[in-house]
Amino acid sequence: MSSSQTKQNTPSFPATAAGTRFARIAGTGSYLPPKRLTNQDLVAQLAQRGIETSDEWIVERTGIRARHFAEPDVPSSALGVQAARQAIEAAGLQPEDIDLIICATSTPDMVFPSTACLIQNELGIIGCPAFDVQAVCSGFIYALTVADGMIRNGTANRALVIGSEVFSRLLDFNDRTTCVLFGDGAGAVVLEASDQPGIVSTCLHADGRYAKILNVPGNVRGGEIMGDPTLKMDGQAVFKLAVSVLDKAAHEVLEKAGRDASCIDWLIPHQANLRIMQGTAKKLKLPTEKVVVTVDQHGNTSAASIPLALDHAVRSGQVQRGQTLMLEGVGGGFTWGAVLVDY
Ligand code: ACO
């Protein structure tokens, strides 16, 4: 179908009376930079620095086998634009149909303007609100929840929600406990106003007391980098907290929806570590076959990981229309949340 045939500029959207307007996922997209490093590639590169690791250690502790790294001159916005274009096309829309852009990222191109504004410009969209959400690996869940609220209250009809990261820029390649875990990429969804859910229920949480267990403490002052601008993590503390809060968040959105875990066709968690994802599924009494897993091929892409996993599951035919999805994120802050979706 040609782009002019798919253009849908004059729809009638449902009214904003409470309970009559929802946000549904109209299309998904994703993008991975072409440079792919297997564990073996990384092991060889780290060996040149005198850092010892192995494919066996990485696979056993994390489930990660490969990740993608963007070239040094490729920013988050460039990855996000590619994912956004795919999501808009999958929704059967044109960029000018979008009336809200939210980008979740902790690796913005610049201090300001926001990555969302840069993506807006690249897409040739003029005038709609565009802003970033910074909640690290929970960023996409935060962004989706904000967009859901703005659609429900009539502020927007068609929202582009993007997660885009170049986390490779934050890594200390002398720290084997963190540099093997992360990758770069982007994912996006188009949310559209509808008289049917769509997004059924959401929850968001944060607890700043845990800021020290996962952070990038550096800053810029007077043109100088102050402190260390690379990622620091207490892996075991993050692991324990992640499994616990993901379980609580899942139950919270199920309770809000008046449902139980048996309604879930697919669990699509933040892709940090296979063991965390399996632990979460076990607590929900879901078989591991119901967990969408891309961490093995993408590593942890922070705010991009959930929309990347969703898009891969949609395009591979795993996720089908009419199914119920549990999206869950957890990350630095500490932040966490969940979104229950009738897809
Ligand atoms: N290769 C080989 N050995 C390693 C490596 C490596 N890359 N990294 C650590 N080790 C060693 C350690 O030095 C330690 O050795 P020792 O016993 O001689 O002291 C041993 O492996 C065990 O280290 P642990 O830290 O106890 O390993 P653990 O089983 O906890 O796994 C991991 C570490 C993978 C980081 C795990 O704790 C984890 O996944 N935590 C959660 C991480 C996470 O999800 N982070 C993302 C959050 S989302 C966000 O906001 C960015």
Q: Transcribe 154-173 into DSSP letters.
A: TS-SEEEEEEEEEGGGG--T
pTM of this structure: 0.95
Q: Mutate which of 45, 239, 295, 296 to test ligand 1's pocket (most atoms within 8 Å of Cβ)?
A: 239
Are 104 and 303 in contact by the 8 Å Cβ rule? The answer is: yes
Q: What is the residue extent of each domain of the chain? A: 3-34+68-196, 200-342
Q: Do domains 3-34+68-196 and 200-342 have the same CATH topology?
A: yes
The predicted pLDDT at position 20 comes to 86
What is the chain's mean pLDDT, rounded? 95
Determine if ligand 1 sits within 6 Å of the CB of residue 273: yes
The pLDDT value recorded for residue 18 is 62
Atom of ligand 1 nearest to the CA of 331: 50
For domain 3-34+68-196, which CATH number applies: 3.40.1160.10, 3.40.47.10, 3.40.50.800, 3.40.190.10?
A: 3.40.47.10
Please give the distance of CA 317 from its chain centroid, rounded to a whole number: 20
- Residue 82 contacts by C-beta under 8 Å, 6 or more apart in sequence? 29, 31, 186
pLDDT digits (tens, 9 = 90+) for 278-312: 999 999 999 999 999 999 999 999 999 999 999 99
Burial class (CB in 10 A: 0-12, 13-18, 19+), 124: exposed
DSSP state of 90: H
d(CA 270, CA 251): 16
CB distance 301 to 167 below 8 Å = yes
* The pLDDT of residue 19: 67
Q: How high is the pLDDT of residue 4?
A: 38
Question: Probe ligand 1: pick from 42, 55, 61, max atoms within 8 Å of CB?
Answer: 61
pLDDT band, very low/low/confident/very high, at 256 (cuts 50, 70, 90): very high
pLDDT higher than threshold 50 for residue 326: yes
CA angle 116, 3, 324 (to 5 degrees): 65
Residue 2, pLDDT score: 38
Contacts of 302 (CB under 8 A, 6+ apart): 106, 107, 136, 137, 139, 163, 165, 167, 182, 331
Is residue 231 lining ligand 1, measured as CB closer than 6 Å?
no
* Residue 57 near ligand 1, beta carbon < 6 Å: yes
Establish whether residue 157 lines the binding site of ligand 1, counting it when its CB lies within 6 angstroms of any ligand atom.
no
3-class DSSP state of 324: strand
Q: Measuring CA to CA, how many Å separate 100 from each of 125, 154, 200, 294?
A: 10, 11, 20, 28
* CA 27 / ligand 1 centre spacing (Å): 36
Q: Residue 262: name the closest of 227, 299, 287 by CA.
A: 287
Q: Which of 103, 137, 179, 203 is catalytic?
A: 137
3-state class (DSSP) for residue 312: helix
pLDDT mean over 324-331: 98
CATH superfamily of 200-342: Thiolase/Chalcone synthase (3.40.47.10)
